């Protein structure tokens, strides 16, 4: 005869302490383990420049920099990044100015609706820091995870190549 083991009680409100540096500002937050970095940024910290597109890691609209590497914040649990330095689109520009990629995007008309632009720019900053994008074909391939439904991809690639080749100075 088998006896039933009772189900363990559900633990509610099991938030974890999380320390992050976001756009240069240190934060100490209580975060539930299932909260994505995207939702933390947008809903708790009001950093709405990072966009929620597909929420499945397929469009790149939610791309941010984590310790200078590009990540999809919709697929990243916030608690996984404890101690990390996160940079969103709001944190890339110097005070009273634009980041060189922002300038290049404007000069090359590399956006139309603008929804994907924050993720595109964060991804481009990350790929330039990776040092892997040496040709236009490589940039195109490495940016393939960031979708632009308006069709501005050729202009986006041109803007990134301009910065890569020193046209706008980082």
Tens-digit pLDDT string for the chain (170 aa): 566 666 665 556 789 999 999 999 999 999 999 999 999 999 999 999 999 999 999 999 999 999 999 999 999 999 999 999 999 999 999 988 999 999 999 999 998 899 999 999 999 999 999 988 889 999 999 999 999 999 999 999 999 999 999 875 44
Same domain, 85 and 40: yes
Domain boundary among 64, 91, 118: 91
Give the pLDDT of residue 124.
97
CATH code (residue 69): 3.10.20.30
Range of the domain at 140: 100-164
- First-to-last CA distance in the chain? 72
**Residue 145: inside a domain:** yes
Q: Could you tell me if 77 and 38 are in contact, meaning their C-beta atoms sit under 8 angstroms apart? A: no
* CA–CA distance, 124 with 146 (Å, rounded to integer): 10
Same domain, 82 and 48: yes
Same domain, 20 and 86: yes
* CA–CA distance, 111 with 58 (Å, rounded to integer): 19
Q: How many CA atoms lie within 13 A of 138 on its CB side?
A: 10
Same domain, 79 and 111: no
Give the pLDDT of residue 170.
47
**Residue 79: inside a domain:** yes
Give the pLDDT of residue 157.
97
CA 69 to chain centre: 9
Nearest to 89 by CA among 134, 46, 49: 49
Nearest to 90 by CA among 99, 82, 103, 81: 99
Same domain, 20 and 84: yes
**Residue 5: inside a domain:** no
What is the residue whose two structure tokens read 């890691």?
Answer: 57
Same domain, 122 and 154: yes
């Amino acid at each position: 005869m088998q006896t039933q083991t009772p189900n363990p009680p559900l633990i509610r409100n099991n938030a974890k302490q999380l320390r992050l540096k976001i756009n240069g500002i240190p934060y100490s937050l209580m975060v539930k383990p299932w909260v994505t970095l995207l939702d933390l940024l947008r809903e708790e910290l009001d950093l709405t420049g990072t966009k929620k597109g597909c929420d499945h890691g397929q469009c790149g609209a939610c791309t941010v920099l984590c310790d200078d590497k590009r990540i999809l914040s919709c697929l990243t649990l916030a608690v996984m990044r404890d101690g990390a330095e996160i940079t969103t689109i709001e944190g890339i520009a110097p005070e009273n100015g634009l980041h060189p990629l922002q300038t290049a995007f404007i000069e090359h008309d590399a956006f139309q609706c603008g929804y994907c632009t924050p993720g595109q720019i964060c991804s481009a900053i990350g790929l330039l820091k990776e040092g892997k994008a040496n040709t236009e074909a490589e940039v195109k391939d490495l940016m393939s995870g960031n979708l632009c439904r308006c069709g501005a991809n050729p202009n986006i690639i041109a803007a990134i190549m301009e910065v890569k080749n020193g046209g706008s100075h980082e």
